[in-house]
Amino acid sequence: MFGNWLKTSILMAGIVALFGVVGGAIGGQQGMLIALLLGGGMNLWAYWFSDKAVLKMYNARQVDASTSPYLYNMVRELAQRANLPMPKVYIIDEAQPNAFATGRNPDHAAVAATTGIMRMLSERELRGVMAHELAHVKNRDILISTISATVAGAISSLAQFGMFFGGRDGENRPNPIVSIIIMIMAPIAGMLIQMAISRTREFGADRGGAEISGDPEALASALAKIEAYAKGIPMHAAEAHPETAQMMIMNPLSGGGLRGLFSTHPSTQERIAKLRAMR
């Protein structure tokens, strides 16, 4: 728990520093001051509202015991087994099988599953997946993953801000400093996520999920199915917001440079082997 708070604090400090550097390059001392204030404000906003922003990106709809008793009651039973408060439950209308957890702490958590994963997996397998997401909640992985997702998008917005306000010099020629800043924004966003989120958290959530559900083979089987089908079914919301890919139980990106840049998932085969060794 302390390790995750430390990583979150380092990430937030890095964001403020990055905003300050970019602001200084664009507008000198005054630009740096404005950017530092924006960076601090961004951190506060991300802490309180980043989970809602991510759910909105995916057009997730909240469900309850009356609108989706199958998923809601499954999550409730698993949350009780994990000694966790009942999280909010959401469904995402996407054909790709996937799921994620979000929120700032176990008292303000949410889990989301796609319609594709609910159709594709057996009840036992889906139970393993939702237990994995609840393990992220219990391990307090969700704050840093949610903040990093929204902040990465903010960095891209900052680059666009630089292009708009400082993209050209007094003779209307491209400003080389701003051009360089814009070129490195996406890699920096990816590196921040890579540094902030260790791939080992997925192994920890796999183990924790297997312990919560009491069925490591169910999660192993679910992971094999998700990987087999997810690659051939694009997830449009994830492609539009690749910085959120690290939140999913399986990398949802179809390919290309962004897949590698934002990839924070270990090998599925290795995850399955570790789960089966628990039996």
CATH number at residue 238: 3.30.2010.10
Structure tokens at 242: 């690749």
In-domain check, residue 1? no
Give a yes or no: residue 169 inside a domain.
no
Annotation marks residue 133 as catalytic: yes
Amino acid at 224: A
The domain total for the chain is: 1
pLDDT of residue 266: 85
| pLDDT tens per residue across span 39-61 | 788 778 878 888 999 999 999 99
Structure confidence at residue 168 (pLDDT): 46
Catalytic residue among 133, 171, 211, 227: 133
> Within a domain: residue 111?
yes
- In 3D, which of 41, 264, 48, 35 has the Cα closest to residue 159? 35
Residue 48 lies in a domain: no
Rounded Cα distance between 149 and 101, Å, is 12
Return the pLDDT at 76.
98
pLDDT of residue 174: 47
Distance CA 131, CA 117 (A): 14
Flag whether 242 is in a domain: yes
Cα(54)–Cα(152) distance, rounded to whole angstroms?
12
Q: Give pLDDT, residue 113.
A: 98
The per-residue DSSP string of 45-74 comes to HHHHHHHHHHHHHTT-EEE-TTT-HHHHHH
- Interval 72-106: pLDDT, tens: 999 999 999 999 999 999 999 999 999 999 998 99
Range of the domain at 204: 58-141+197-276
3-state secondary structure (DSSP) of residue 215: coil
Which residue numbers belong to the known binding site for Zn(2+)?
Answer: 132, 136, 202
Indicate whether 49 belongs to any domain: no
Residue 39 lies in a domain: no
Query: Annotated binding residues, as ranges?
Result: 132, 136, 202
User: What pLDDT score does 120 carry?
Assistant: 97
pLDDT given at position 259: 47
Counting as low any pLDDT under 50, the low residues of the chain are 167-169, 172-174, 257-260
**DSSP per residue over 230-255, as a string?**
HTTS--HHHHH-GGGGGGBSS----S
Within 58-139, residue ranges assigned H as helices are 69-81, 115-120, 123-138
- 272 found inside a domain: yes
